[in-house]
A = this chain, B = another copy of it.
Amino acid sequence: MAEVETAPGTLRPGGRTARVRAAVLRAAEDALIECGVDGIDLAEIARRAEVGKTTVYRRWGNAGALVADLLEDMAEQSVARTETGSLDGDLRANARLVVRTLTDERQGALFKAMIAAAANDERTAEALHRFYATRIQEWAPCVTQAVERGEIPDGTDAPEVIRAVSAPLYYRFLASGDPLDETVADRAAHAATCAARAGAYAKPREARP
């Protein structure tokens, strides 16, 4: 299995409830990858997961809620950040992880389907936003540590730097369709580092704590 940003559907220890959730989320993930968001049919998911239909309808109720729960699960299992000792190195590790995830056949299809689902369903959109908030929070200390090391100006907006690394990769993935590879990842990281060094992500003075 390719190293990916998250490893949804991984079986974790737990009781029957946890096992049912894991099986249903895994089936939902497979359906999204194979057919996109229109592939989420609760009865079919129950059949694939070998779980009673009533359980699935009672617990999740509809496709939007199920995709939202899958996103919660992916956020919980989000891979820990890498520490390399320099901002450019840390951001490069982050960018390469994002590129590996989005170019992985299964994960790429899954992210595309979940983002398309979020366009049509408010609950899915909220879960998607929480997923990215978790990811951004996980990587933000790279930036605060770079401030402490004196690499970038005091008052740099850490979440904004992390967003700036992912942004060109997602723009290619979702909008422009331009290629995604390690060179693109490294350039996204380096551009964010350069802009951070120049103070482009410094918070306005009144916004600082």
Contact (Cβ within 8 A) B177 A128 = yes
User: In whole angstroms, what is the CA distance A171 to B126 when docked?
Assistant: 15
Enumerate chain B residues within 8 angstroms of A154, measured Cβ to Cβ: none
Enumerate chain B residues within 8 angstroms of A170, measured Cβ to Cβ: 167, 170-171, 174-175
Q: Looking across the interface, which residue of chain B has its beta carbon closest to that of A166? A: B171
Question: Known interface pairs A194-B198, A198-B198. Does A164 touch B175 (Cβ–Cβ under 8 Å)?
Answer: no
Find A191's partner among B112, B132, B187, B200 (CB 8 Å cutoff): B200
User: In whole angstroms, what is the CA distance A178 to B159 when docked?
Assistant: 11
Contact (Cβ within 8 A) A178 B191 = no
Besides the contacts A166-B175, A167-B167, A194-B199, what 13 more A-B pairs have beta carbons closer than 8 Å?
A115-B115, A115-B174, A115-B175, A119-B174, A128-B175, A129-B178, A163-B168, A164-B168, A170-B170, A170-B174, A191-B191, A194-B194, A194-B198
Enumerate chain B residues within 8 angstroms of A36, measured Cβ to Cβ: 119-120
Enumerate chain B residues within 8 angstroms of A171, measured Cβ to Cβ: 163, 166-167, 170-171
Within 8 A of B (CB), among A129-165: 129, 132-133, 136, 160, 163-164
